[in-house]
Amino acid sequence: MNAQDKGEPGSFRLAMNQLHTWAGVVIGGVLFAIFWMGTLSVFDREIDRWMMPMTRIAQTEVASLDALKPIADRMARDVDQWSVVLPTERVPTMQLRVYEEERDINDVRHVDPATGALLDDPGSLGGTGFFFPFHFSLHLRAFDLGYWLVGIAAMAMLVLSVSGVIIHKKLFADFFTLRIVRKPQRTTLDLHNVTGVLGLPFNIVMALSGLIIFFSIYMPTPQSIVYGGDKAAFERDAYGDFEREKAGRPGGLASLDAMQAEAKRRWDGEAPYFVRVKNPGDANAYVEMRRPYDRGVTMSLDKIYFDGPTGRVLNEFRTDKAVMTAQRFISGIHFIQFRHWTLRWLYFVCGLMGCVLIATGFLFWVQSRRKKHAKLGLRGVAVVEGLAVGSTTGIVIATLGFLIANRLLPLGIEGRAGLEMWAFYLIWIGTFAHGWLRPRRAWVDQSWAIATGAVLAVILNAITTGDHPIHAALRGQWGVAGMDLVMLAGGAVAVLTALRLSGRKAATPVAALAPAE
């Protein structure tokens, strides 16, 4: 994180150097967690298939939306709404959700689209329910605290990217310099420079787009001024929200299949991917259908609202305003929900490079100050090193622990999803403690833990489901096979790293971060 110029830097470059150094040290742990969870979220649906074996079914067309109504009626008694997400290329099931905020009801079940039958409850949040929300909210929803911490981290990433370019005079020359045979400190800095240059466009775009996605949280003043504090009016104009109160009289629900056919007609043959019924069982029930956006970058907000009892169109919204179209295009770049497997893998690799960039910055700070702090009797290096260990290898171990708990906990046990989360957080906290208690051995120990956890997760998946990588691939379950293969690859790298570290007298080399897969 220090400028590598041997000459005396100018005052501006020195100021940028200090900014780069301390911004990285202060926010590096949070940044790594965000990047790591964002990287996993690139394949969150595939992680769901691994963690929810009952959803590993063949891809098929939806037989009928109307067939869902009896199931929804049983699940959604006296609630405000129920919704269903229709199958996609990456998710073969229908996901039926019953929701009511006041009574804290949020029940999600998977439905076989061919038969309309409810599948067994997976009892897990999976990748979409745990890793993805962690990426943008840190699971700290009170007072939007998590969103603000992530926003601060995104701003820090922009500062780090710009200041990193300024303080390195030979930045692009350094991109072609990776000295892995020299002392660890030199290797650390070289790897930091290489991943920094290679991932610079990606890191800036992800940080900036993340801020733009949640503009209404970070910059509420303009909309408050324009709409006079009327949040509902803003959301109607920006997002096409439509609401109407309950009538207080019973009412039926017209054919959802007929509403779907009308939506397809209006959307040039595209069927809705999301259907929501609000005020079910009431005379003022209404149905929301959303247009899919997996064929383009822009995450379209096009939606149609139907009157529940009659099926007539109440309101139609199209994403045709310039500002929101731009915002949804930027959102699409960040979330990568469109169909493009090559680009998805590129995002995954770039995300891992971002993790290495952040971690090597952490490590260079530790390595360059270890002797000086020891002579002066300072504890700064010990504190930062424990944070670095827990924030990097530690969160990888916690992730593997989350997956292992998923395979070990029996189905049907009460609070199963919560137990998986407890496993993640307790293991993660333990890795910080380990980093502080054994700073000179923590990297080796945790590299072996990563290798062991990766292999154990793959073995447990094979034992509990029978879907070892070959069997899963033969059944067309490429997401499951891919999960196993990525974990085995990460475990192999972790073994090589642990062996290399064990043979070195120097502590805390950068290679400990390589198995971040």
Q: 471 with 497: CB under 8 angstroms?
A: no
DSSP codes, 204-242: HHHHHHHHHHTHHHH-HHHHHHHHTT-HHHHHHHHH---
Please tell me the predicted confidence (pLDDT) of residue 9. Answer: 52
How confident is residue 182, by pLDDT bands cut at 50, 70 and 90? low
Residues 484, 385 share a domain: yes
Of 293, 317, 335, the domain-final residue: 335
Residues 407, 301 share a domain: no
How confident is residue 180, by pLDDT bands cut at 50, 70 and 90? low
- Phi, psi (degrees; rounded to nearest 5) at 274: -140, 135
H or E element that contains 23: helix 11-41
Residues 284, 349 share a domain: no
Distance, CA of 221 to CA of 226 (rounded, Å):
9
Find all residues with CB under 8 Å of 471, minimum gap 6, and list them. Answer: none
- Number of separate domains in the chain: 2
Closest CA to 68 of 95, 105, 89, 92: 95
Considering the domain boundaries, does residue 219 fall inside one?
A: no
Residue 258 pLDDT > 70, yes or no? yes
Of 295, 310, 335, the domain-final residue: 335
Residue range 425-441: mean pLDDT, rounded: 93
Count of H-run helices and E-run strands, the chain: 21, 7
Task: Calculate ∠ Cα 191-196-199, nearest 5°.
Answer: 120
Closest CA to 512 of 382, 368, 355, 345: 355
Of 304, 335, 366, the domain-final residue: 335
Considering the domain boundaries, does residue 223 fall inside one?
A: no
Residues 431, 455 share a domain: yes
Task: Calculate ∠ Cα 415-109-287, nearest 5°.
Answer: 130
Residue 361 pLDDT > 90, yes or no? no
Residues 106, 145 share a domain: no
Whole-number average pLDDT of the chain: 87
C-alpha radius of gyration, the chain, whole number: 25
Considering the domain boundaries, does residue 415 fall inside one?
A: yes
Residues 325, 348 share a domain: no
Considering the domain boundaries, does residue 248 fall inside one?
A: yes
CA atoms within 13 A on the CB side of 503: 6
Considering the domain boundaries, does residue 218 fall inside one?
A: no
Considering the domain boundaries, does residue 374 fall inside one?
A: yes
Considering the domain boundaries, does residue 5 fall inside one?
A: no
Distances from the Cα of 508 to the Cα of 364, 377, 498, 502, 505, angstroms:
10, 19, 11, 11, 10
Q: Give the residue with greater pLDDT, 14 vs 156.
A: 156
- Which residues on neighbouring strands pair with residue 96, listed in sequence order? 84, 109
Residues 173, 46 share a domain: yes
Residues 192, 241 share a domain: no
Residues 64, 29 share a domain: no
Residues 322, 259 share a domain: yes
Per the structure, the complete domain to which residue 294 belongs is given by 58-124+230-335
Residues 282, 310 share a domain: yes
Residue range 106-112: mean pLDDT, rounded: 89
Please tell me the predicted confidence (pLDDT) of residue 19. Answer: 84
Residue 507 pLDDT > 60, yes or no? no
Q: Give the residue with greater pLDDT, 370 vs 55.
A: 55
Tell me which of 52-61, 195-204, 379-388, 505-514 is least confident.
505-514
**Which amino acid is residue 37, in one-letter code?**
M
Considering the domain boundaries, does residue 1 fall inside one?
A: no
Residues 345, 329 share a domain: no
State the virtual CA torsion across 414, 415, 416, 417 in degrees, nearest 10.
150
pLDDT above 90 covers a percentage of the chain that reads 61
Task: Calculate ∠ Cα 255-260-264, nearest 5°.
Answer: 150
The gap from C-alpha 373 to its chain's centroid, in whole angstroms, comes to 37
Q: Give the residue with greater pLDDT, 359 vs 434.
A: 434
Distance, CA of 166 to CA of 82 (rounded, Å):
52
